[in-house]
């Protein structure tokens, strides 16, 4: 018994040291990630060094061996009685988390670490050059202006001038050629060489196995089935556009506008950018979301040199440190341009999506930071399910009648909600296949031999894949998608589709259980208990079973894609009628239990040190001052 107590004390000290050493290396990497990606620092070399140090930590075979040995000691021993039983169980739980993390990131062989370092260096060099690249297009006023990825895509969707839309598409195609001419192909070769050193046939196979614990064959069994289920619905949507507007409507710079352009313009007044922050805070409070004392830093406006895609990272993972709660520190970003048509809804979508990520990671209640970080063994599909569930709410009819308000406070009329459904529902399959096309392309890209990795071959592959999956060339060219350039998100885009499958499964359960989701204060606590608290200690499938009683299913999303516009409107009409007659619960939290700062680079624009209401009002004032409404 005395020996077991001594062993437990030593293991406790080892475990505590492991937790705190990880926090230091993780924080260093994440702080430099934020600074370089936000354009407040050009220390790309320092970030690459910090990332290499983090990767060396999580892939260290010595630490893995030490964890395995101590875990075996605890699992083989009878252990002490009394309070010692609980401590031993907690140590076993924590060490199993560390074992899973190291096993998910371990780099094998002598060539592995050097191969990973080469990838990090090549990506840092590519990112540094990309940050200096200026894209231009013709905006709403007809002027040639600098553009971000977000503004290019919004312009394609909403600008009634075809020449202006085409200028945005031309810029995106130009970005593809720039990527291929500035080091991306070297990155692909380096990733494949590293994957082969890890006994995988290519990088795509390596990433799927590591991030989702699947083979690519298992993954594509799901994706191929979804492709077959939604193929006819996708074809019907394209035929609808061509029948109404002619074959020219299917040109890549026209197709998005023909799906939704006039609708984006009509609904835009009901999504003012300056009220997006307030809509997010209020809606999440009414859903019962709590951030358990986390510190949130939000950078929401576009800025030269800033990374041109939303993301959420947690520099300080939340966990219980010897029973004491350590709240998370979480950053997320958007690239809003408030004076552009469609930007308000895009801002809302980003706040709900990235805010959903933040809520998830702020509520992981493990006894180690290894459970609450966003990298393997955390499944991308699991993580994205939490965020995409949240952003799915802002297209619900009952959410729109409560929150979509023009500047004068007038609500979005039901007739416009109906038009929104009639315009969007025929293209639900196309929307999901925009995600689906990426894994088909990436699987084929990494299967190419090095000798075929030329710009011309890769561009031809991209176009062929777009035509095969979408039926048209994509308005969002594949190599203009930033996820492909960073190893953490490369060969992982399928996670968004797997997540959306789980989202509609989750939505079906909530609607069946309660009849409504919008402003239902039971939603946050149920997600926190069943899906967020365990972190990566459980699988994606296990979280779904815990909440819904059913394992992962792709059927709900496929059926959503196949519904007619009339079926979708009938459901929406019933939802709005129920919402008008419902007495909504009023026992939602007074705040989000978070310290929130709204920043623009190094400058603080607003915070909630006084109140959430003042923070939202201060942010709105900044937006209105910088981007006055046009007469």
CB-based contacts of 322-326 (< 8 A; 24+ apart in sequence): 322/16, 325/292, 325/293
* In the predicted structure, residue 78 carries a pLDDT above the cut 90: no
Residues 517-544 as b or e (16 or more Cβ within 10 Å = b)? bbbbbebbebbbebbbbbbbbbbbbbbb
Question: Chain-centre distance of CA 342, in angstroms?
Answer: 20
Element of type H or E holding 210: helix 203-212
Task: Please state whether beta strands 294-301 and 329-336 pair in parallel, antiparallel, or not at all (unpaired).
Answer: parallel
Six-digit token string for 242: 């061509």
Contact 372, 319 (CB under 8 A): yes
Give dist(CA 353, CA 386) in Å, integer: 8
What is the dihedral angle through the alpha carbons of 408, 413, 417, 419, rounded to the nearest 10 degrees? -110
Q: Indicate the SS3 state at residue 199.
A: coil
Give dist(CA 316, CA 325) in Å, integer: 12
pTM of the model: 0.92
Residue 519, CA distances (Å) to 282, 284, 529, 548, 631 in order: 9, 8, 18, 20, 35
Give dist(CA 270, CA 407) in Å, integer: 7
**Average pLDDT over the chain, rounded to whole?**
94
**Peptide bond connecting 438 to the previous residue in cis, omega within 30 degrees of 0:** no
pLDDT at res. 385: 97
pLDDT at res. 82: 47
* In the predicted structure, residue 335 carries a pLDDT above the cut 70: yes
Residue 368, CA distances (Å) to 163, 172, 294, 552 in order: 54, 42, 16, 27
Q: Which of 310, 301, 366 is nearest to 339 (CA)?
A: 301
Give dist(CA 111, CA 120) in Å, integer: 15
Residue matched to tokens 């690519």: 216
| Range in 262-266, 476-480, 503-507 the model is least confident about | 262-266
Identify the residue with better confidence: 265 or 572: 572
Return the number of other C-beta atoms located less than 10 Å from residue 81's C-beta: 8
CB-facing half-sphere around the CA of 410: CA atoms within 13 A: 7
Six-digit token string for 370: 């290894």
DSSP character at residue 368: S
Mean pLDDT across 482-499:
94
* In the predicted structure, residue 114 carries a pLDDT above the cut 80: yes
* In the predicted structure, residue 318 carries a pLDDT above the cut 90: yes
Which string of DSSP letters, residue by residue, matches 414-436? HHHHHHHHHHHGGGHHHHHHHHH
Six-digit token string for 116: 């990973």
Share of the chain above pLDDT 70, in %: 98
Residue 201, CA distances (Å) to 217, 323, 461 in order: 13, 44, 20
Q: How confident is the model at residue 309 (pLDDT cuts 50, 70, 90)?
A: confident
* In the predicted structure, residue 164 carries a pLDDT above the cut 70: yes
Question: Chain-centre distance of CA 257, in angstroms?
Answer: 25
Residues sharing a CB contact under 8 Å with residue 271, sequence separation 6 or more, in sequence order? 344, 345, 347, 348, 404
Domains of the chain and any CATH numbers: 2-106 (1.20.58)
Residue 124, CA distances (Å) to 25, 117, 191, 289, 442 in order: 18, 11, 14, 36, 21
Question: Chain-centre distance of CA 233, in angstroms?
Answer: 26
User: pLDDT digits over 92-101, tens only?
Assistant: 999 999 999 9
Q: Which of 175, 141, 139 is nearest to 154 (CA)?
A: 139
CB-facing half-sphere around the CA of 107: CA atoms within 13 A: 20
Residues sharing a CB contact under 8 Å with residue 278, sequence separation 6 or more, in sequence order? 613, 616, 620
Contact 293, 593 (CB under 8 A): yes
Q: Which residues pair with 325 in a beta bridge?
A: 320
| Range in 51-60, 71-80, 309-318, 421-430 the model is least confident about | 71-80
pLDDT at res. 466: 98
Residues sharing a CB contact under 8 Å with residue 627, sequence separation 6 or more, in sequence order? 273, 337, 338, 339
pLDDT at res. 310: 85
Which string of DSSP letters, residue by residue, matches 6-57? HHHHHHHHHHHHHHHHHHHHHHHHHHHHHHHHTTS---HHHHHHHHHHHHHH
Contact 398, 509 (CB under 8 A): no
Q: How confident is the model at residue 449 (pLDDT cuts 50, 70, 90)?
A: very high
Residue matched to tokens 């297209």: 395
Return the number of other C-beta atoms located less than 10 Å from residue 22's C-beta: 21
Share of the chain above pLDDT 90, in %: 87
């Amino acid at each position: 018994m005395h020996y077991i107590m001594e062993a437990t004390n030593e293991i406790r000290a080892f475990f505590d040291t492991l937790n705190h050493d990880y926090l230091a290396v993780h924080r260093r990497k994440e702080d430099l990630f934020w600074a370089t990606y936000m354009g407040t620092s050009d220390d790309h070399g320092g970030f690459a060094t910090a990332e290499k140090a983090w990767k060396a930590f999580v892939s260290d075979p010595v630490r893995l061996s030490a964890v395995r040995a101590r875990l075996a000691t605890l699992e083989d021993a009878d252990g002490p009685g009394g309070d010692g039983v609980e401590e031993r169980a907690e140590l076993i739980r924590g060490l199993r988390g560390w074992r899973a993390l190291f096993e998910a990131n371990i780099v094998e062989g002598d060539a592995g670490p050097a191969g990973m370092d080469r990838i990090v260096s090549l990506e840092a060099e590519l990112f540094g050059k990309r940050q200096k690249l200026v894209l231009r297009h013709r905006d709403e006023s007809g002027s040639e202006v600098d553009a971000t990825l977000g503004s290019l895509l919004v312009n394609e969707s909403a600008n009634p001038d075809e020449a202006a839309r085409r200028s945005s598409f031309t810029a995106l195609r130009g970005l593809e050629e720039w990527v291929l001419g500035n080091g991306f192909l070297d990155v692909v070769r380096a990733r494949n060489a590293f994957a082969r050193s890890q006994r995988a046939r290519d990088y795509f196979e390596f990433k799927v196995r590591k991030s989702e614990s699947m083979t690519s064959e298992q993954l594509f069994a799901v994706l191929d089935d979804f492709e077959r289920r939604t193929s006819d619905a996708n074809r019907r949507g394209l035929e609808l556009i061509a029948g109404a507007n002619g074959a020219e409507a299917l040109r890549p710079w026209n197709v998005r506008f023909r799906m939704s352009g006039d609708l984006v313009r009509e609904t835009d007044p009901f999504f003012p950018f300056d009220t997006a922050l307030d809509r997010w805070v209020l809606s999440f409070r009414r859903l019962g979301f709590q951030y358990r004392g986390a510190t949130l830093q939000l950078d929401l406006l576009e800025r030269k040199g800033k990374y041109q895609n939303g993301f959420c990272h947690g520099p300080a993972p939340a966990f219980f440190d010897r029973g004491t709660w350590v709240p998370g520190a979480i950053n997320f970003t958007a690239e809003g341009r408030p004076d552009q048509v469609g930007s308000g809804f895009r801002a809302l979508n980003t706040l709900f999506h990235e805010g959903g990520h933040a809520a998830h990671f702020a509520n992981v209640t493990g006894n180690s930071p290894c459970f609450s970080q966003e990298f393997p063994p955390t499944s991308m599909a699991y993580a994205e399910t939490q965020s995409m569930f949240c952003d799915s709410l802002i297209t619900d009819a009952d959410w729109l009648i409560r929150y979509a308000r023009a500047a004068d406070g007038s609500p979005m009329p039901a007739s416009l909600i109906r038009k929104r459904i009639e315009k969007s529902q025929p293209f639900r399959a196309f929307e999901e296949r925009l995600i689906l096309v990426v894994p088909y392309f990436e699987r084929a890209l990494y299967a190419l031999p090095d000798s075929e990795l030329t710009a011309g071959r890769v561009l031809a592959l991209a176009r062929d894949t777009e035509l095969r999956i979408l039926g048209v060339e994509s308005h969002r060219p594949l190599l203009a998608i930033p996820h492909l350039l960073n190893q953490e998100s490369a060969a992982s885009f399928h996670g968004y589709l797997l997540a959306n499958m789980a989202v509609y499964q989750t939505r079906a359960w909530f609607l069946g259980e309660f009849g409504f989701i919008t402003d239902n204060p039971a939603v946050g606590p149920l997600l926190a208990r069943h899906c967020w608290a365990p972190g990566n200690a459980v699988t994606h499938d296990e979280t779904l079973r815990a909440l819904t009683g059913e394992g992962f299913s792709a059927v709900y999303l496929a059926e959503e894609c196949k519904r007619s516009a009339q079926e979708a409107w009938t459901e929406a009409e019933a939802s709005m009628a129920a919402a008008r007659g419902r007495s909504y619960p009023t026992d939602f939290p007074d705040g989000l239990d978070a310290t929130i700062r709204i920043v623009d680079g190094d400058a603080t624009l607003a915070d909630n040190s006084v109140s959430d209401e003042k923070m939202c009002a201060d942010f709105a004032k900044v937006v209105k001052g910088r981007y006055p409404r046009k007469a």
